[in-house]
């Protein structure tokens, strides 16, 4: 990408609010630099739609009206836009400006179409393209319970241990626990901030954000350094988290919350969505259960299931916990055929039972009972005593 184009994208990231689809469409149509030249001229002399129509074909009235309204809002900010000042601020914290076309650009964000960010202002490891190849977003409430924070930490710990980059928003509660879990494993984690990357927000997580960078992770924002994290930017930031993760997992969320909006963004982008269940008595899990009930999310309970959800298959295919569980609770007579099992259940330790009695209790024929007690005797389960049969205590080694 030419330098002018990169600078124009940096400018656009200050000029348009995150998620401004009119700006995004204009940049897609004629490029960042040319669209900016057009905007400057339009603000000065009034819009010359013919230049756009030469590229796009005739504009309908609604498009002209949308562009007119957008120009009015861009005009307000245009005088304050100073990409060189913003880039200096980025330099001062050793940051990197990433734009599409850069080999380190996370192409997953292009799925946002006209709402894709113009650029990313990054602090820390700048190769986001590579980091996000194996990634999962973990999101949830700021008002998390200790259960939720523990699960978020454990999931992130497990994902980081498998080389998966944990994406979240750096907020208190679930977000922070997820970043912490990744950092504890010295794993990469990406914090997508609603404000500038030079602002530690929230302030209470400042040390955590430093630790993220120290562990090889990154902080990134689509707005320039020094930008304020406004409410609408928090909401728009959620679409970035949803697009950045190969899957999005909600750990705890109330009915209405940013995490729910992130989950729905992910679903709209056809990214898999997971929800961690919790006690039905906990309002902090109500959003997760709603996502499960509505079929928006799949139930996930550990890091392996998140990896499976994220399509990090092959070596990442979740080991069937049934096998492990079966091994754990395997019953020693699991290998027996159904008739032998019923005959085994019909025997008692103390009172020897004749064969016809055994058959009657078990509900099998005498011939079947005879075959079964023979087998059970060989296996050390049953013993003849007098005319009857008893159950034998067998060591379950």
Question: Among residues 56 and 341, whose Cβ is nearest to its own copies?
Answer: 341
The verdict on 345 binding its own copies (CB under 8 A) reads: yes
Q: Which one of 114, 143, 269, 299 is in contact with its own copies (CB under 8 A)?
A: 299
248, 136 contact by CB (below 8 A): yes
The verdict on 255 binding its own copies (CB under 8 A) reads: yes
φ/ψ of residue 342, rounded to 5 = -65, -35
Which part of the chain contacts its own copies (CB under 8 A), choosing from 24-32, 143-151, 203-211, 383-391?
143-151
The verdict on 111 binding its own copies (CB under 8 A) reads: no
Q: Which one of 113, 313, 365, 385 is in contact with its own copies (CB under 8 A)?
A: 365
Q: Which one of 6, 8, 10, 16 is in contact with its own copies (CB under 8 A)?
A: 16
What are the structure tokens assigned to 322, written together? Answer: 């049934």
Which of the residues 163 through 222 are near its own copies (CB under 8 A)?
none
How far are the Cα atoms of 1, 56, 98, 225, 302 from residue 86, in angstroms, in the given order? 19, 32, 13, 6, 41
Q: Which one of 84, 107, 186, 232 is in contact with its own copies (CB under 8 A)?
A: 232
The verdict on 40 binding its own copies (CB under 8 A) reads: no
Q: Which one of 128, 160, 292, 304 is in contact with its own copies (CB under 8 A)?
A: 292
Which part of the chain contacts its own copies (CB under 8 A), choosing from 114-122, 136-144, 262-270, 296-304?
296-304
Is 327 buried (19+), middle (13-18) or exposed (0-12) by CB count in 10 A?
Answer: exposed
Q: Give the 3-state secondary structure of 244-259.
A: HCCCEEECCCCCCCHH
The verdict on 348 binding its own copies (CB under 8 A) reads: no
Question: Among residues 14 and 213, whose Cβ is nearest to its own copies?
Answer: 14
Whose structure tokens read 């969505």?
273
The verdict on 325 binding its own copies (CB under 8 A) reads: yes
Helical (H) or strand (E) element with 240: helix 231-244
CA–CA gap between residue 165 and residue 125 (Å, rounded): 12
- Angle CA 391–369–363, to nearest 5: 95
Phi-psi region of 144 (alpha: psi -120 to 50; beta: other; left: phi over 0): beta
CA–CA gap between residue 184 and residue 215 (Å, rounded): 9
The CB-of-331 to its own copies minimum distance in angstroms stands at 9
372, 339 contact by CB (below 8 A): yes
Q: Which one of 159, 176, 364, 372 is in contact with its own copies (CB under 8 A)?
A: 364
291, 297 contact by CB (below 8 A): yes
Whose structure tokens read 């019923």?
342
Which of the residues 67 through 96 are near its own copies (CB under 8 A)?
69, 72-73, 75-77, 80
Q: Which one of 161, 202, 216, 277 is in contact with its own copies (CB under 8 A)?
A: 277
Q: Which one of 256, 384, 385, 394 is in contact with its own copies (CB under 8 A)?
A: 256
* CA of residue 262 relative to chain centroid, distance: 9
The verdict on 346 binding its own copies (CB under 8 A) reads: yes
104, 28 contact by CB (below 8 A): no
The verdict on 133 binding its own copies (CB under 8 A) reads: no
The verdict on 319 binding its own copies (CB under 8 A) reads: no
Which part of the chain contacts its own copies (CB under 8 A), choosing from 3-11, 104-112, 115-123, 337-345?
337-345
Is the torsion defined by CA of 68, 70, 76, 77 positive or negative?
A: negative
197, 121 contact by CB (below 8 A): yes
The CB-of-320 to its own copies minimum distance in angstroms stands at 10
The CB-of-338 to its own copies minimum distance in angstroms stands at 8
What are the structure tokens assigned to 37, written together? Answer: 């030249």
List residues binding its own copies (CB under 8 A). 16-17, 20, 69, 72-73, 75-77, 80, 147, 150-151, 228, 230-232, 254-256, 276-281, 285-286, 288-290, 292-293, 298-302, 305, 321-322, 325-326, 329, 341-342, 345-346, 356, 359-361, 363-369
């Amino acid at each position: 990408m030419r330098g002018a184009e990169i600078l124009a994208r940096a400018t656009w990231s200050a000029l348009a609010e995150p998620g401004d689809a009119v700006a995004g469409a204009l940049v897609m149509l004629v490029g960042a630099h040319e669209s900016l030249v057009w905007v400057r001229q339009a603000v000065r002399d009034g819009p010359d739609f013919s230049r756009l129509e030469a590229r796009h074909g005739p504009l309908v009235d609604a498009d002209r009206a949308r562009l007119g309204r957008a120009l009015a809002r861009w005009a307000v900010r245009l005088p304050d836009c100073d990409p060189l000042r913003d880039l200096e601020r980025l330099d001062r914290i050793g940051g990197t400006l990433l734009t599409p076309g850069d080999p380190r650009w996370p192409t997953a964000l292009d799925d946002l179409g006209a709402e894709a960010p113009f650029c990313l202002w990054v602090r820390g490891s700048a190769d986001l393209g590579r980091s996000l190849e194996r990634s999962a977003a973990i999101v949830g409430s700021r008002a998390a319970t200790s259960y939720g924070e523990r699960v978020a930490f454990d999931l992130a710990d497990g994902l980081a241990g498998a080389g998966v980059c944990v994406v979240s928003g750096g907020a208190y509660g679930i977000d922070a626990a997820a970043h912490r879990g990744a950092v504890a494993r010295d794993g990469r984690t990406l914090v997508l901030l609603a404000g500038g990357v030079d602002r530690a927000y929230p302030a209470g997580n400042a040390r955590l954000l430093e630790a993220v960078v120290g562990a090889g992770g990154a902080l990134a924002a689509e707005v320039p350094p020094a930008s304020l994290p406004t409410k609408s930017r928090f909401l728009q930031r959620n679409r970035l988290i949803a697009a950045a993760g190969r899957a999005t997992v909600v750990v705890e969320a109330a009915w209405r919350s940013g995490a729910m909006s992130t989950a729905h963004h992910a679903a709209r982008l056809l990214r898999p969505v997971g929800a961690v269940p919790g006690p039905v008595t906990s309002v902090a899990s109500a959003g997760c259960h709603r996502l499960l009930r509505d079929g928006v999310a799949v139930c996930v309970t550990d890091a392996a299931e998140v990896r499976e959800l994220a399509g990090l298959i092959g070596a990442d295919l979740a080991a069937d916990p049934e096998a492990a569980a079966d091994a754990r609770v395997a019953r020693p007579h699991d290998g027996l055929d159904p008739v032998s099992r019923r005959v085994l259940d019909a025997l008692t330790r103390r009172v020897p039972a004749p064969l016809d009695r055994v058959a009657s209790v078990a509900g099998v024929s005498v011939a079947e009972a005879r075959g079964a007690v023979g087998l059970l005797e060989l296996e050390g389960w049953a013993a003849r005593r007098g005319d009857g049969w008893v159950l034998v205590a067998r060591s379950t080694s």
